[in-house]
Amino acid sequence: IEAVFEQLSVKQKVFAEVEAVAPAHAILATNTSSLSVSEMASKLQHPERVVGFHFFNPVAILPLLEIVRGEQTDDASLATAFGVARKLKKTAVLVKDAPAFVVNRILTRFMGEIQNVIDEGTPVEVAEKAVEPLGLPMSPLVLLELVGPAIGLHVSETLNRAFPERFTVSPNLAAVVKAGKRGFYV
């Protein structure tokens, strides 16, 4: 399972290196949170072996796993991916290869609105308090610290490019990343 930085060219390079030495029956899985699985596989000799295997943080606690079928992913690779998910005791769902898949697209829209109210001047603590009644497993901004603001920014930028009318990029989040901070509270 590849889990390098969210940059398509880096992931393609890693997959090319792994494909050169991996046995023919091995699937190549990526933990990308927003990049196209099909594009990752596009330069490989066997793109049918590539699947998305997107975990959620904290991985040890959250059971959901998005399995992403690329344009050329074959049924055997999907079956193997679902088998591995079962062994890991994960609840696997098959999702389409689309920008940020399903969960991150929904989460980024939600997080974007929280960041928008902060960008408009709402204190961070007030924004956090306002979503407490939703009963989330953790505060959205704590989740952002856990996954890393750079990943959050990358997903926001990816979705903004794909759907500019629906997704914004928070100037405050960009500033947090540029400053090298771990989150809004640091």
CATH code at 150? 1.10.1040
Per the structure, how many domains does the chain have?
A: 2
Q: For residue 184, what pLDDT is reported?
A: 76
Q: For residue 139, what pLDDT is reported?
A: 87
Q: For residue 138, what pLDDT is reported?
A: 85
Nearest 5°: the CA angle 133, 183, 154 is: 100
Q: Are residues 71 and 133 in the same domain?
A: no
Task: Reply yes or no on whether 25 is catalytic.
Answer: no
In which residue ranges of the chain is pLDDT below 70?
185-186
Question: Does the residue 3 lie in any domain?
Answer: no
Q: For residue 185, what pLDDT is reported?
A: 63
Of residues 25, 46, 54, 154, which has the active-site annotation? 54
Question: Does the residue 1 lie in any domain?
Answer: no
Inter-residue contact 146 to 57 (CB < 8 Å): yes
The answer to pTM > 0.85 is yes
